[in-house]
Chains A and B, each alone.
Chain A
Amino acid sequence: MTTFLQELVVGISTGAIYALIALGYTMVYGIIELINFAHGDIFMIGTLVAIVIMNAFGVNANTQLAGFPLVGIMLVTCIGTMLACAVLGLVIERVAYRPLRNAPRLAPLITAIGVSLILEDAGKLWKGVSIVSFPQIFPLINYSIGPITINSVNILVLVVSVVLMIALQLLVTRTRIGRAMRAVAQDREAAALMGVNVDFVISFTFFIGAALAGAAGFIYGLQYGNTFFYIGFQLGLIAFTAAVLGGIGNIVGAMLGGLVVGIIQSLASLIPGSVLPHGGAAWSEAIIFAILVLILVFRPSGLLGQQTPEKV
């Protein structure tokens, strides 16, 4: 039972990161109906950028910080990473997706794959093909609540994710630009007729989505302590599953989906080797993917989405 609860905690923590990445997927899909394959790789680049920013402050894997410098460096790194990823997202949209907005469906998908390949190789060239260590500067303190252990990094992850998600929800529901985003997602031409600058709104959506991925990259690095050029692809697939599970195009759905997928992934590692060869952990990808297929077969609109009939 304790293992179960412990895995639950771990799952919620990972799920929060998945939720942040899934938000980017879901927002872009909602607005231009394109699966941005490159989004996971933006997350990966975010982790690398965070490492570079911290190295610029002289922080490496062994540095101990406390108090004011700690908070300062973390804030600067987080915001710097978010900005860098946001700009990257803007550039990608401008170069690879905007010219193909009116092209047949296959074209932007293929360019998205192309961008994903480029980013992966850029990560490989930048920091090499092996695992890169991330300075875990946040002090690790374990708290015991009953039988389970939560550590401070988990709490940080949760706090950052919740803050960002609330901020996003407020942005989308309470501001003008958020209303414009919802309008463009609902009906692009009508929004244009109402005076919304569609190009700007779409660019802004990419900006915000990529910024969230950057933040996710930063806290991923803090939690796991390392990064690798391929994690973009791996986590991207999982995050996309989360977005679909929650209902693609639905922001609250993405958050919910992320949590659920994180929990399922941790619980899958509990499956013993007698049921699945090598135990559940090796099969976690397969299980998550199986979930994706099941959702798409039985409830394509996801948990919180609405069934929209395809119009002629």
Chain B
Amino acid sequence: MSLARNAPALLPGGNIRRLLAKWIIALIIPLLVFTFWAGEAIINTVVSPATAPSAVPTDVGSLIQSALFAAVVYLVVIALAGYVVATDSGRDRFWKTWLDVAIFALVPLILIIFAGQFAGENALILGLALSVVVWGIYFLIRNLIQRRLPAASKPSKQDISPVADLPPSVVRQRAVLGSFWFAVALDVIWLVIDLVYFFSGQIGLTILIWVIVRTLLLPILGYAMGRFAEAYIMWRANRAMAAKGTNGTGGAKNGQKEAINANPGSSNGLARARARIMNDLPLRSAGAQRFMLTLLIVFLLFYPAIDPFLFGSGLDGRLSGYGDAGYYVILALGLNIVVGFAGLLDLGYVAFFAIGSYVWGFVGSSQFTVITGIQTNLHVVSWLFWPMLIVTALIAAFWGVLLGAPTLRLRGDYLAIVTLGFGEIVPVVFLEMDKYTNGSNGIVGVQPPAFPGANWNTSTPYYYLILALIVLVIFANLRLRDSRLGRAWVAIREDEIAAASSGVNLVNTKLFAFAAGAFFSGLAGMYHAAKLGVVSPDNFSFGDSVIYLAMVVIGGIGSIPGVIVGALVVYSLNEFLLPNLDAAMNTPGSVLYPFHQAITSVIPGFAFENIRNLIFGVLLIIIMLFRPEGLIPSARRRRELHREEQDEVEIGALDVNPGAPGFESEIHVE
């Protein structure tokens, strides 16, 4: 009997059934789409390599990687199901949850699958870029509708039960039930479909055995992941209570309900809400975001192993494309420091990129012998790539300081022009000093890096290298942003005179901003030189500087996830969308061909490639006029620019204690 009391009953009661229905339906549809697109193929290949599709490698290493990937994906999603069922406070309606999940999980999946069919080469990035567009349109429409509708009635106090209000046993029950029944639902649907496959002869006996094993295993895993989710929730709740426990006034649990319905206009209510509420909108809470981040990291790490299941052959070309996208991301992050954090409009960013490329071009090729007369062994030079990463970046940073120094006393407009001038001049210098730089012929034969066991003629090592570099750069940016220097940058951006009066050393801080931006640009330049193998002045032009600025602006000035997304969107627009549109327009059979005839009769020179700058110009103007904070704004920016639209307690900020890194606190003066 005591066992029965402690073990939660596995049959849900009344209102839990509604929660289960809501979340299981919401989460299972994307997971099923993924399963029947690629997940089934991955698992079947692991179980029985004989059933692998043609392009898939079946060596043990790949199989283990694929197995790990599949296991993590399904376990994380099952745990997520438990988490969201447990932490749901009932504030969101069914349809809103389903719509949210459909837009944010289902739409990208479908777009990627769709893109895979007509542009198998670049399906992932193209699909993601298209989904970003869809999200933008969805937000726009949602905002418009929300402004038109009368204020939605809030659910009454009795109907909301935030997770901190619940006793631990109820939390455990909900988490376990959520995971368990999600796993069971997945199990049943999968079993039925696999039985259909089996009886129609499409899968063999070995797979059937696996199906039966899986059917028995999944509910157990569901229960286990439910307990895991519950443990996670309790851990976070205890941490939040402990941090705020000494400051809380009165019962924390009573305060929560009161705080949800507190008048948002008064800072007191907001402050109390922030002190107590653990976020009660599950999908947007920090906990759920950690699940999704785990999924993303696993996906990125194991991507080369699972790509053949998703898109067929052509892995090398795709990885090369991701490598290029990667250095754009690093450039965007570096420019984000100068433009976003410090507010210094830098239009000549390509200069530091060129410097980084040329430094490795000098050192890492036979040009070194031409310049200095010292013979080098090129294979040994490849090993120098790793120390040269830091050295090149430091050289670029040094030039950042040099080029930034004359601009220190200038205001924003002059600074833009001067940096624009530098961005023009540096490539010209490299072009004209052809005794050292080989002029317009460029430097060829630039060595790739050397790493034991990696074949640098393929793209896979470059993919992992850029992933590692991006992780380091993101880490550096986060630390910089939340450091004293980062706050000094923000102070300068907002009001220089006030910052100077508060003791910020303007000169040093601005120089450091230029140096930091140039540092990351140098890194990207060196990677680019090593990957491409050739350094020539044609690669660096003012147009590139504008593209980097567009990445930062479209993504969200000053926001780290924003500029990453901006970089990927702009890259895919640049590299994939426009040339593919051109190709589509020129093939007679396609939908766009008649338009091509019509347009070229009026404008002879028309091609989508030619109007790339036009599209960017229009995008920049539209973003500046209607959404200046960009696609994914930094929290500070969003508050700045849409102050009058704050009508509900902010979601994302509530999980983090004010004052902790990442909160970006603001002082309310009433």
Contact = CB atoms under 8 A, between A and B. Distances in A.
Interface of A: 29, 33-35, 95-96, 99-100, 103, 105-111, 113-118, 120-122, 124-126, 128-129, 233, 237, 240, 244, 276-278, 282-283, 285-286, 289, 292-293, 296-297, 300, 310, 312
A134 to B, nearest CB: 18
Contacts of B625: 96, 99-100, 111
A121 B425 contact: no
B170 interface: no
B413 interface: yes
21 contacts: A34-B413, A105-B411, A105-B413, A107-B628, A118-B618, A120-B613, A129-B605, A244-B417, A276-B432, A277-B434, A277-B435, A278-B432, A285-B424, A286-B429, A289-B424, A292-B421, A296-B407, A296-B414, A296-B418, A297-B406, A297-B409
Given A117-B617, A125-B611, A300-B410, A289 B425 contact: yes
B345 A115 contact: no
Given A124-B610, A125-B603, A277-B435, 18 more contacts: A34-B413, A35-B413, A35-B417, A100-B624, A110-B549, A113-B546, A117-B614, A124-B611, A125-B605, A233-B542, A277-B432, A278-B432, A285-B425, A289-B422, A293-B421, A297-B406, A300-B409, A310-B411
A114 B618 contact: yes
A117 B606 CA distance: 16
A285 B416 CA distance: 17
Nearest to B436: A277
Interface in B473-506: 497
A61 to B, nearest CB: 19
Nearest to A283: B432
Contacts of B428: 282-283, 285-286
A297 B620 CA distance: 31
Given A106-B343, A111-B624, A292-B421, A121 B617 contact: yes
B417 A237 contact: yes
A105 B345 CA distance: 10
Contacts of A29: 413
Contacts, number: 134
B611 A110 contact: no
Contact of B406 (A129, A283, A286, A293): A293
B497 A310 contact: yes
B661 interface: no
Contacts of B618: 114, 118
A113 B603 CA distance: 24
A125 to B, nearest CB: 5
Given A107-B628, A115-B617, A121 B413 contact: no
Given A121-B617, A128-B605, A293-B406, A109 B416 contact: yes
If over half of B's interface residues share one DSSP class (helix, strand or loop), that class is named, otherwise mixed; here it is helix
B129 interface: no
Contacts of A300: 409-410, 414
B613 A117 contact: yes
Nearest to A100: B624
B604 interface: yes
B616 A117 contact: yes
Interface of B: 339, 343, 345, 347, 406-407, 409-414, 416-418, 420-422, 424-425, 428-429, 432-435, 497, 542, 546, 549, 553, 557, 603-606, 610-614, 616-621, 624-625, 628
Contacts of A277: 432-435
A115 to B, nearest CB: 7
A74 to B, nearest CB: 29
A117 B605 contact: no
A64 to B, nearest CB: 28
A109 B420 CA distance: 13
A118 B624 contact: no
A100 B641 CA distance: 13
Contacts of A100: 624-625
A277 B628 CA distance: 45
Given A35-B416, A121-B611, A277-B434, A114 B425 contact: no
Given A106-B412, A277-B434, A296-B414, A128 B604 contact: yes
A111 B628 CA distance: 11
Contacts of B424: 237, 285, 289
Contacts of B619: 114
A247 to B, nearest CB: 13
Contacts of A107: 624, 628
A120 B612 CA distance: 11
B417 A240 contact: yes
Contacts of A110: 549, 553, 620, 624
A285 B553 CA distance: 29
Contacts of B422: 289
A121 B610 contact: yes
Contacts of B621: 95-96, 111, 114-115, 118
Nearest to A294: B406
Nearest to A248: B414
B610 A296 contact: no
A244 B497 contact: no
B413 A111 contact: no
B414 A106 contact: no
Contacts of A233: 542
B415 to A, nearest CB: 9
Nearest to B415: A296
Nearest to A122: B614
Contact of A116 (B413, B432, B617): B617
Contacts of A116: 617
B628 A103 contact: yes
Nearest to B552: A110
Nearest to B618: A118
A107 B637 CA distance: 13
Contacts of B425: 285-286, 289
Given A121-B610, A125-B606, A296-B406, A244 B617 contact: no
Contacts of B624: 100, 103, 107-108, 110-111, 114
Contact of B413 (A109, A283, A292): A109
A244 B414 contact: yes
Nearest to A126: B603
Q: Which 9 A-B pairs have the closest CB atoms?
A: A117-B617, A114-B620, A121-B614, A118-B617, A289-B421, A114-B617, A114-B621, A117-B613, A35-B413
